[in-house]
């Protein structure tokens, strides 16, 4: 059984291993001891905060733990407020028409315009599973457990929820989109720019990025071809989010041109269809597979299990093993999502 819980400093070595395995372009997991340690400390402090009525600088980093081996299988996270302490940039794709009535010419062109349009949103991020744990429903648990958290603790998050999807790059970390930018505006390679961004050193973006909109048709064919496209390893994560109602509103990453997708928190499918019930701990005949979480925030736990749900009494029966894993007992409230 895989159980999701908040990260602690004892998980550092596992997090570092995940950072190495995640590869190029995974900005939120830089291979840097100080930065990863700081991220764990920040998450611990964020989960410990009480009486939070609106999002600020909180960062909630969680890990999936194999209950049998105790091994960390992967990570998942939510940033409460994009752009609170570091700049957040993206390109917006817009369309303009160059027209001359006298010449009878109409030319539609697209532009990339640098901006800070998602400041104040909450961000789903750092979803990563080690290869040996990618089978079955583990990826679904790591993604959707965040929606149970959003549904149960809405006051901690913004109304707009976003996710920046990793764009196209090869195994050596070369991004076709970045190669064009590097040739014309930068003198550093993609892996270094990606690392600097992940480490919070984003000042070079404002200093070196082109200030005026970029005509997309002036980019290299290779760069144009990857705008709004995702890395092959990111396709399953994008599919899950699209099923939840997320879509791209023509915003892309400034380094690899991967799409940013967004959805109003109230309209996320798993938020809308999640249910709240009272727990009864007992051995039972399982009838429904669900993603199940407790309602604690500081001691958040979530897993996939089979339950016996009684909608007329708003009770859900779970086994003692599941109750122990989620730190709950009979009479406690839980939130869950049916797996269809």
Beta carbons of 328 and 321 less than 8 angstroms apart: no
**Token reading at 240:** 């899950």
Average pLDDT, the chain: 91
Chosen domain end from 217, 241, 270: 270
Candidate from 8-17, 60-69, 280-289, 308-317 with smallest mean pLDDT: 280-289
Candidate from 83-97, 185-199, 226-240 with smallest mean pLDDT: 185-199
- Asked whether residue 32 falls in the same domain as residue 131, the answer is yes
* The total number of structural domains that make up the chain: 2
- Asked whether residue 18 falls in the same domain as residue 147, the answer is yes
- Asked whether residue 241 falls in the same domain as residue 293, the answer is no
pLDDT reported for residue 96: 93
In a domain, 221, yes or no: no
| CATH code where residue 253 lies | 3.40.630.30
In a domain, 202, yes or no: no
- Asked whether residue 239 falls in the same domain as residue 140, the answer is yes
pLDDT reported for residue 285: 74
Chosen domain end from 270, 302, 328: 270
- Asked whether residue 140 falls in the same domain as residue 44, the answer is yes
pLDDT reported for residue 32: 85
pLDDT reported for residue 22: 87
- Asked whether residue 33 falls in the same domain as residue 152, the answer is yes
| CATH code where residue 311 lies | 2.40.40.20
pTM of the predicted structure, to 2 decimals: 0.91
Tokens 């996939």 sit at which residue?
304
| Mean pLDDT to the nearest integer, 213-217 | 93
Q: Chain-centre distance of CA 46, in angstroms?
A: 17
Chosen domain end from 210, 239, 270: 270
pLDDT at 194 over 70: no
Q: Which of 63, 52, 57, 84 is nearest to 3 (CA)?
A: 63
Q: Which tens digits make up the pLDDT trace of 177-189?
A: 988 888 887 767 7
Long-range contacts from 204-212, C-beta under 8 angstroms, 24+ separation: 205/87, 205/89, 205/254, 206/87, 206/89, 209/89, 209/114, 209/185, 209/254, 210/114, 210/184, 210/185, 211/114
d(CA 36, CA 265): 28
pLDDT at 174 over 90: no
Domain span at 308: 274-338
Q: Are strands 122-129 and 160-164 parallel, antiparallel or unpaired?
A: parallel
- Asked whether residue 308 falls in the same domain as residue 166, the answer is no
- Asked whether residue 260 falls in the same domain as residue 281, the answer is no
For residue 335, name the pLDDT band (cuts at 50, 70, 90).
Answer: very high
d(CA 186, CA 180): 9
Catalytic residue among 38, 184, 231, 284: 231
Q: Which tens digits make up the pLDDT trace of 278-299?
A: 999 998 777 899 999 999 999 9
| Mean pLDDT to the nearest integer, 132-161 | 96
Could you tell me which residue, 166 or 181, shows the higher pLDDT?
A: 166
Candidate from 30-34, 145-149, 190-194, 270-274 with smallest mean pLDDT: 190-194
For residues 261-293, b (16+ Cβ closer than 10 Å) or e, as one string?
bbbebeebebbeebeebebbbeeeeeeeebbbb
Q: Is residue 98 annotated as part of the catalytic site, yes or no? A: no
- Asked whether residue 249 falls in the same domain as residue 300, the answer is no
């Amino acid at each position: 059984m895989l159980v999701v819980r908040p990260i602690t400093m004892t998980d550092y070595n596992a997090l570092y291993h995940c950072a190495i395995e995640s590869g190029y372009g995974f900005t939120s997991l830089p291979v840097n001891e100080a930065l990863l340690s700081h991220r764990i400390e920040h998450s611990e402090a964020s989960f410990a905060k009480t009486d939070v009525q609106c999002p600020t600088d909180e960062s909630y980093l969680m890990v999936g733990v194999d209950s049998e081996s105790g091994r960390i299988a992967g990570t998942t996270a939510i940033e409460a407020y994009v752009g609170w302490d570091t700049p957040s940039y993206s390109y917006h794709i817009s369309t303009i028409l160059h027209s001359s009535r006298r010449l009878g010419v109409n030319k539609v062109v697209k532009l990339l315009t640098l901006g800070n349009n998602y400041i104040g949103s909450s961000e789903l991020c750092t979803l990563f599973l080690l290869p040996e744990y990618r089978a079955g429903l583990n990826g679904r648990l790591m993604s959707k457990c965040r929606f149970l958290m959003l549904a149960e603790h809405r006051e901690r998050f913004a109304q707009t929820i976003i996710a920046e999807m990793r764009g196209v790059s090869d195994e050596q970390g070369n991004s076709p989109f970045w190669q064009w930018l590097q040739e014309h505006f930068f003198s550093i390679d993609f892996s270094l720019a990606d690392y600097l961004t992940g480490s919070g050193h984003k000042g070079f973006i404002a200093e070196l990025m082109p200030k005026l909109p970029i005509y997309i048709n002036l980019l290299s064919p290779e760069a144009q071809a990857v705008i709004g496209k995702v890395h092959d390893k990111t396709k399953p994560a994008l599919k899950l989010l699209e099923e939840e109602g997320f879509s791209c509103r023509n915003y892309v990453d400034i380094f690899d041109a991967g799409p940013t997708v967004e959805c109003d928190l109230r309209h996320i499918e798993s938020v809308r269809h999640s249910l709240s019930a009272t727990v009864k701990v007992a051995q039972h005949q399982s009838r429904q597979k669900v993603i199940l979480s407790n309602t604690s925030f500081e001691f958040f736990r979530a897993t996939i299990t089979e339950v016996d749900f009684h909608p007329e009494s708003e009770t859900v029966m779970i086994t003692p093993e599941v109750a122990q894993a989620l730190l709950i007992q009979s009479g406690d409230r839980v939130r869950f999502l049916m797996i269809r």
